[in-house]
Every structure is written in C-alpha cells, then in structure tokens.
Amino acid sequence: MNQEGTSTTLHSAISRRARPPRASMLTCATAFGWRALLKIKYVPEQMFDVLVTPIMFTVMFTYLFGGALAGSTSDYLQFLLPGILAQTMIFTSLYTGVTLNTDIGKGVYDRFKSMPIWRPSPIVGAMLGDVLRYTIASTIVVLVGLLLGYRPETGIVGVILAFVLLNIFGFGLSWVFTTLGLILRTPGAVMTVSWIFLMPITFASNIYVDPATMPSVLQTIVAFNPVTHLVTALRGIMDGGLTPGQLALCLVTPITLTVIFGPLTMLLYRRKR
Amino acid sequence: MTHAIEVEGLIKHFGATQAVNGIDLQVPAGTVYGVLGPNGAGKTTTVRMLATLLPPDGGRARVLGHDIVTEADALRSRISLTGQFASIDEDLSGWENLLLLSRLLGFGRKGAKARAQELLQAFDLEEASHKQVKYYSGGMRRRLDIAASLVVTPDLIFLDEPTTGLDPRSRNQVWDIVRALVNDGTSVLLTTQYLEEADQLADRIAVIDHGKVIAEGTSKELKASVGSGVMHIHLADPAQREAAQQQLAQALSVPVHIEADPSALSVQFTDTTAATYALAELPRAGIALSHYSMGQPSLDEVFLALTGHPAEPETTQNEQEVQA
C-alpha cells in the first residue's frame, strides 16, 4: 500500500462518527467470557489439571477405598461419584483466583477500567469462562464413572441438572477466590491460602464416607459444612429423591457468598492500583 | 477558548513519596498538549488520575467539563488512554483485541468485525492480525495500542510516552497518527521525555519536575525564556579553546560553556548582532573555526536551564514510577 493510501484509510478510520449505544451488561460479560475461552485456546496446557485430576481421583478412591469403605467397589462408586463431582468443581474453582491475580497486574486492565463498560464484567466474564472448565471436568468424571460401572438413577436429565447446580455453586464459591486473588500478592500465595481453606471443607464432608461413622463433634461440623449440602443435593438429583429443603439448603451458600464476596471483590477491584 | 482539561493543585502521594505535588494545567481543546519531564517526574501518575484510574489525594480537575472524581463514569465514555505499558492483551491476537474492545464499546457482532478490520488496515497491521500480540515488534504493538484507543473516536486521548523505545521509523508513524488525530478534532495530551517530540507535536508544553509544573508555554516561548539564541562553536585547534572562551565572554558578558568535545564551546545570548560580531572577531585574533551553528536553544538546553539538571532518565527514579 502506498503512503497516500495508508493516510487516507487512517483518516477515514479515525474520523468522528456516531458512537454505538452502550453495551449491555450481558454483552460485556459474554465478551469477557469469550476472552477467557481464547486464553484456553492459546494455552491448552492449563486444562491439563482440569482433565487429569478428576480421572485420578475417581479411579483412585474407587479402587483404593471402595472395598474397605462400602464392601464393594461398585457400591462405593455409586455413593462416591456425586461427591467427586463436587470435589472436582471445588478444586477447579480456585483457579479463578489464581488467574485473576495473574491477569490483573497487566496493562490491559488499565484499559478495561478506563472504558465505559459494566464494571464487574471483566471478573464476571472470567467466571463465565470457568463454567466451561467445570462442565468439561464434570463430564470427564461422569464418563469415567460410567466406564467403571456407575449408573445415574435419573439418567441424562439428572446428570444435566447436577451440572447446573454445580455451576451455580461454583459461581458463588468463585467470589471467595476472586477476593483472595485481589488481596494476595502472588498467584502462588493465592494457591496456598486457597488450599488451606479448601482441604478441610472438602474432607470434613460427606463426599467420601457416611458421616454416621464419625465422632459426634465431627458429625456436627460435617452437618454444617456447605459442601455436605451440595453433595446431598447432588445425590438427591442423580439418585432421585431430592427434597425442596435439600435444594434450598444447598443454594443458601452460593447466594450468601455472592452477596458478601461479590461486592467485596468489586470494592477491591476498584481500589487496586 | 474552551479547555479540554483544567487542573488545580492536583496531589498524589504513595506512602512517603510525593508523586504529584500540586500540578496546575490548562489544556486548550483541539490541540496537542505536551507534558514534558524526566522519568519519575509524575507524568504517568498525573495521566492516570486524569483518566479516572487513580483517585487524587488533593486538588481538583475537570476533563471535558466533567469532574474526574464525581463524574468519572460520564467522563470514561469520552476519553481514551494509551498507557506507557502496553494496555492490550498480549495473549490475544491483534484482531481479537480489537474485536473484544469493539464489542465492549457497543458494536454489534457484524459492526465489531468491520470496525476491527478497518482499524487493522488503517494502522498497517493487517498482515499480523492473527498473530498473538506478544510476538509483535515494539512499533506494531504501539500502533495496535493506539488503534485500540480509537475504536470509538474519543474527544480526548491520553498518550503516555507513546514513542518510548521505538525506532525512528515507528516513531514517525506514531507522530503521523497524532497529527491526523488532532486534525480531526480530537484533543491530545501527550507525555514524553523526548524534548524533540514535544517540540515537533505539541502546541503548548508543560515542563514538570518532581511533581510540579516548572514552566509552561509554546515551545518558542519556553526557548525564549532561556535566552533568544544559542551558538555552538567548534575550533580547528582544541588548544585555543581557553583563549576563545575568554574572548567571547569578554565581548558578550555572558558565561561561555565548555562542551564535552575538547574543541567545542557554547554560548547562550540575547543580542544576535553582538553575538555575530563576537564570532567574527575570533578568526581575526588567529583562532580558526572548524564549524559553528547558531539558532534557538534546544529544549534540552531549556530543560537544563529550568531544572538545573539535564533531562537524563535516571534508573532509580524510573523504578519509582514503575512501582507507582
């Protein structure tokens, strides 16, 4: 292209025109969701954790503990699988905080912040991208489960509804990690602190064993653990027999976390740098 | 004349560091305004406050008539920022960056694609449009960064050191873009540590140092405030420099500076005629000239005269600004 051609296209490209109407909240959030997907496209290795961990846990727990805990591996798998879905979602959700911590130091956030867009959309969009991670991880768990002999009583519909519930819970839980991601200095610190918090709530639950076998103090803790409520609801959905009370109890946590940690995340985001 | 930016006593400190220490600015609309200063002078911090990214600790500022604190949201839809550190997503391609920003700024799916394509073409980035930005050269990255600021043509654009680290060809491309922008009615606030850049582009210049404006005016006015002219003399024989220095100092009654080059001298003067005669006297006294030049002082010399230290970037100050 010759010099004159370039300057004509330049002048026309930067000439003043009517600006389009302000983008809706949904458009902003989905645009950032698309950005999250592009990041996966360029660095597919980051999905390795999401792919391998669930397979490892499902196979390991089923064959290692199944015989001892439930008498037979097939009975244990039937009990364990909804729990492993919850565990996989919880372990995946901490990446939201780690990713945000890595991302926010970059200059592009200066641009996002100086644009007339729905302010939470960079974070909400990233969380929408995480929905894909949860869904992929959950699908793998169910496929491995089916291969090993797991049979959901409520069929495909039950599995889909379970995925929806997992995503709602994951969305609420993610706000805790975005908060940590904004408070702590390095991605490594986010990872460490998140694990300290995640390990007890994952293991002191009804994911792996029936709480009836535990000491009474621990039983009380397990009964109040939100992860227990999630797993109970998942079992209810996938095995049939979900009560409205179980569902409501399970939804209290993501709603509460969103109400508390959502605004806190936004406050920290606005203050950052 | 209407003002694009009015700043009164703006203050920002980071801990004990007073980054911006009471800056006043009046930027006329539709012009290029240069903020000139060395690294760590407070340029970036000032721009970040004016672009609503950083709340000020004191003072007031109105940009395009909007208060930067209470009317930040209304202001954001009228300004654009190209930061000193690339404000584009390095992991995405140029095409994806522009598409994302177009969508966020309200273009529909088709409109966003057309706009991204148009900008890539206008900024000479079409060939690299599907490469990740991290593989771009400095000049390409800078052009994409500016294109990203122009997805919707703003009323005012902040360019924070737009040519730092660019080769001369890329620098000229950026200058052409700035000229085209102001030609189309956009006000531009440009920070730079290159005196030549301010001289070339800016209608008015504020010189800042240690968070304060120490001089303001057109580049001509700034130069004139330091003395109307400057003479650089190179002698044929360095041994005669001392004699030449004495003779000139006597004739003009101003200090004559010794340059790093052992055969060179420089003089700032106010009376051009007297300076010309004094120069002509040198060969008569047997001091042969190799070559000489006469002209207005460069902004480098202006900066030295105003601040008492040369406009050299200093590493420690640089680090301070990065942390800020």
The answer to whether position B244 is within a domain reads yes
For residues B208 and B243, membership in a common domain is answered with no
For residues B189 and B236, membership in a common domain is answered with no
∠ CA B154-B218-B85, rounded to 5° = 45
Instruction: Return the pLDDT at B311.
Output: 57
Reported residue count of chain A is 273
Give the whole-angstrom CA distance, residue A18 versus residue A14: 12
The CATH number given to whatever domain includes residue B114 is 3.40.50.300
Summarised one tens digit per residue, pLDDT across range A196-231 is: 989 999 999 999 888 888 899 999 999 999 999 999
The DSSP call for residue B135 is: G
The answer to whether position B324 is within a domain reads no
The answer to whether position B317 is within a domain reads no
Residue that finishes a domain, picked among B176, B205, B223:
B223
The DSSP call for residue B57 is: S
Instruction: Give the mean model confidence (pLDDT) for residues A56-66.
Output: 87
Chain B contact for A216 (CB, 8 A cutoff): no
Average pLDDT, chain B: 87
For residues B50 and B193, membership in a common domain is answered with yes
For residues B144 and B275, membership in a common domain is answered with no
Interface touch A6/B184, C-beta < 8 Å = no
For residues B94 and B214, membership in a common domain is answered with yes
Going B128 to B131 to B137 to B141, the CA torsion angle's sign is positive
The answer to whether position B320 is within a domain reads no
Among A17, A34, A113, whose Cβ lies nearest the Cβ of B53? A113
Residue A174, burial from CB neighbour count under 10 angstroms (0-12, 13-18, 19+): buried
From A113, which residue of chain B is nearest by alpha-carbon distance?
A: B53
For residues B93 and B217, membership in a common domain is answered with yes
Residue that finishes a domain, picked among B223, B248, B271:
B223
For residues B201 and B231, membership in a common domain is answered with no
Q: Residue B292 is part of which domain span?
A: 227-296
Q: Which of A61-70, B114-123, B165-174 has the highest mean pLDDT?
A: B114-123
∠ CA B91-B95-B100, rounded to 5° = 75
Summarised one tens digit per residue, pLDDT across range A91-130 is: 888 888 888 888 887 878 888 888 889 989 999 999 988 8
For residues B247 and B188, membership in a common domain is answered with no
For residues B213 and B267, membership in a common domain is answered with no
Interface touch A35/B123, C-beta < 8 Å = no
Query: For chain B, what is the domain count?
Result: 2
Residue A25, burial from CB neighbour count under 10 angstroms (0-12, 13-18, 19+): middle
Interface touch A16/B153, C-beta < 8 Å = yes
The CATH number given to whatever domain includes residue B290 is 3.30.70.100
For residues B119 and B187, membership in a common domain is answered with yes
Q: Distance between terminal CA atoms of chain A?
A: 42
CB atoms inside a 10 Å sphere around CB B76: 21
Give the whole-angstrom CA distance, residue B191 versus residue B195: 10
Higher pLDDT: A35 or A9? It is A35
Give this complex's ipTM.
0.83
Evaluate whether A253 touches A172 at the Cβ level (below 8 Å): yes
Q: Where are the alpha helices (DSSP H) in chain A?
A: 3-13, 25-42, 48-70, 73-104, 108-113, 121-148, 155-183, 187-203, 216-224, 226-239, 244-271
Residue A240: C-alpha distances to residues A157, A234, B122 (Å): 11, 9, 60
Interface touch B104/A117, C-beta < 8 Å = yes
pTM: 0.79
Residue type, A58: T
Instruction: Return the pLDDT at A105.
Output: 78
The answer to whether position B311 is within a domain reads no
Q: Considering only CB atoms, which chain A residues are within 8 Å of B85?
A: 107, 110
Summarised one tens digit per residue, pLDDT across range B187-197 is: 999 999 888 88
For residues B113 and B182, membership in a common domain is answered with yes
Residue type, A40: I
For residues B201 and B70, membership in a common domain is answered with yes
Residue that finishes a domain, picked among B205, B223, B241:
B223
